[in-house]
Structures are given as C-alpha cells and as structure tokens.
C-alpha cells in the first residue's frame, strides 16, 4: 500500500509539472502575441506620424500660398509686414512639425519598450519553466522517498514486482491430481 502511495506521489508530481509547463507555454504564447502587437503598433505609429506631417505640411504650404496670392492681388509688395507674416506662419509650421515628430517618436519608443519587455517576460517564463519542471520532479521524488522511508521495515516491499524475496512461488499443497 505504501509503495502505491509513493508511486502516486511521483505520478502526481509528474502530472503537476506537465500541467504547469502547459500553462506556462500558453502564457508565454500570449506574451509573444503582445510583443508582436507592440512591434506592429510602433511601425504604425511611424506611418501615422509621417502621414500627419505630410498633411500638415500640405495645409500650411497651401495657407502660405494663399497669403502670398492675397498680398499680390491687393497690390502689396512682399516686403516688410507681409514677409514677417509669412515668416511667422512658416516658423509655426516648423514648430508644429517638430511637435508631431516628437509625439510620434515617443509613441514608437513606448511601443518598442513594451515589445522588449514582453520578449524578456517570455524568455523568463521559458527559462523558469525548465527549472520548475526539474523542481517538480525532484519534489515528487523526495516525497516518494520520504513516504517509503516512513514505512516500517517489515512492511516494505522487496524483490521483484510480486513482492517477497523474489524467488518462485511455493507449490500449492491443495488437493490437486497427480
């Protein structure tokens, strides 16, 4: 009976270690999917930033063109105040483009940092899984050995699979024919 308990402990430990390994693999897969999402988010942020800059540049260039055209239709020369106004518009445009770039770079950096963190977490789960599996096996073996050691000497199984001293069974003396 005690041997069966020891075998049960070993089997239970193995099953527990396998279950933990399966759960860890699922968690790792989820984390790797997040990593891929963050990498895609970084790439999309770069595209969105460039698109926003292109649209803003087009709009402000259009505004500057309308300003120049309005001055020309009004007969105003492009000296003095009109040039200052156009210069200020261009300066605001450049500052806004810098702000758009900065925000885009920050979004990209954040997404890349999250992707890197996800990769590190997945790597840690992979490494820890090996040690957890080994620990589970050693723990199950230790529990089985402890249980076996607590069995009184006369009750411990010995010999082959049938117990006893491993010799052949004694012939039966019950009423058989000769």
* List of residues 6+ apart from 144 with CB closer than 8 A: 6, 7, 9, 10
Q: What is residue 161's predicted lDDT score, i.e. its pLDDT?
A: 46
Q: What is the pLDDT of residue 158?
A: 63
| For residue 175, pLDDT beyond 70 | no
The stretch 128-140 carries a mean pLDDT of 76
Of residues 42 and 161, more confidently modeled: 42
Residue 105: per-residue pLDDT: 95
Distance CA 79, CA 65 (A): 16
Question: Is the pLDDT confidence value at 122 over 70?
Answer: yes
Q: How many CB atoms lie within 10 A of CB 75?
A: 6
pLDDT digits (tens, 9 = 90+) for 50-103: 999 999 999 999 999 998 898 888 888 878 888 898 899 999 999 999 999 999
Give yes or no for a contact between 38 and 97, defined as CB atoms under 8 angstroms apart: no
Q: How confident is the model at residue 149, as a pLDDT? A: 77
Asked whether the beta carbons of 118 and 31 are under 8 A apart, the reply is: yes
Structure confidence at residue 140 (pLDDT): 75
Query: In the predicted model, what is the mean pLDDT of the chain?
Result: 82
Least confident range from 17-31, 32-46, 68-82, 147-161: namely: 147-161
142-167, pLDDT tens digit by residue?
Answer: 777 777 777 777 776 665 444 444 44
**For residue 164, what pLDDT is reported?**
47
pLDDT value at residue 178: 45
Can you give the pLDDT at residue 96? 96
pLDDT at 36 over 90: yes
Q: Which of 158, 160, 171, 141 is nearest to 9 (CA)?
A: 141
Alpha-carbon distance of 108 to 97, in angstroms, equals: 16
pTM of the model: 0.60
Number of separate helices (H) and strands (E) present in the chain: 2, 0
Lookup: tokens for 106: 């920050």
Confidence of residue 177 (pLDDT cuts 50, 70, 90): low
Domain boundaries, the chain: 2-67+79-153
């Amino acid at each position: 009976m005690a041997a069966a308990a020891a075998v049960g402990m070993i089997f239970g430990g193995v099953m527990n270690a396998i279950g933990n390994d399966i759960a860890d693999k699922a968690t790792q897969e989820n984390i790797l999917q997040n990593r891929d999402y963050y990498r895609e988010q970084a790439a999309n942020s770069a595209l969105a930033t460039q698109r926003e800059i292109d649209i803003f540049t087009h709009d402000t260039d259009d505004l500057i063109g309308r300003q120049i055209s309005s001055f020309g239709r009004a007969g105003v020369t492009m000296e003095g105040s009109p040039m200052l106004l156009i210069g200020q518009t261009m300066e605001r445009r450049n500052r806004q483009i810098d702000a758009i770039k900065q925000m885009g770079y920050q979004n990209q950096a954040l997404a890349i940092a999250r992707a890197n963190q996800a990769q590190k977490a997945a790597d840690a789960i992979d490494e820890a899984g090996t040690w957890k599996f080994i620990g589970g096996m050693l723990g199950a073996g230790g529990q089985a050995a402890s249980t076996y050691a607590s069995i009184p000497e006369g009750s411990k199984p010995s010999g082959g699979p049938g117990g006893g001293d491993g010799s052949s069974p004694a012939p039966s003396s019950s009423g058989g024919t000769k």
